[in-house]
Amino acid sequence: MSLGVVFYSRSNNTRTGAEYIAGKVKAELIELTEANGRKGLGGFIKSGYQAVSGKTSALIGDPWKEADKHSALYLMTPIWGGKTTPAMNAFMQNADFKGKMVTAITFQADEKGAGTKVTYDRIRQIVESSGGTFVGGYALHSAAPGRFAGKEYIEKQLDEKYLSIIKNS
């Protein structure tokens, strides 16, 4: 099975997790890069508004072509406003998930994973409506907006809440 990790990260938490997973399961890293920046307080406010209203953003390059090569995809994104990010929305909206196994892994400030149940239902709907299989979603804790939780903390959670589960299944 050929694996791809499609990820978006503004403050490096999701990036750190994506790099760790990709190394562990031998997957290609596919980063979603936005055409427009999100720096500072203005960027934060814009981001919250866009996420809450389910907006997409313009992406640079062709992540869809890179993802096409793989039979299984990880979708990794922070949770913003209880939902997926505009970059991940843009990817999912135009992706062809036909025949692919899709797993979502999200990072957020809330330790209890607020919003993820509805978010994973939405991802499942998108994946299944384009012919893919949604394997499941894993909600991980990171840090407050703009903060970095640290490599060790992120990797430990992935070990405990995801990698140990797939190892034993």
Ligand X SMILES: Cc1cc2nc3c(=O)[nH]c(=O)nc-3n(C[C@H](O)[C@H](O)[C@H](O)COP(=O)(O)O)c2cc1C
Q: Which is nearer to ligand X, 11 or 103 (CB)?
A: 11
DSSP 161: I
User: Coil, strand or helix: which one is 13?
Assistant: helix
CB-based contacts of 130, cutoff 8 Å, min separation 6? 95, 96, 97, 98
Residue of the chain from 74, 80, 97, 162 that contacts ligand X (CB under 6 A) = 80
One character per residue 59-78, x = contact with ligand X (rule: CB under 6 A)? -------------------x
Rg (CA), the chain: 15
Q: Between residues 51 and 127, which has the closer beta carbon with respect to ligand X?
A: 51
Interface with ligand X in residues 97-156 (CB under 6 A)? 107-110, 114-115, 142-145
CA angle 91, 93, 52 (to 5 degrees): 85
Q: Which residues bind ligand X (CB under 6 A)?
A: 9-15, 44, 47-48, 51, 78-82, 107-110, 114-115, 142-145
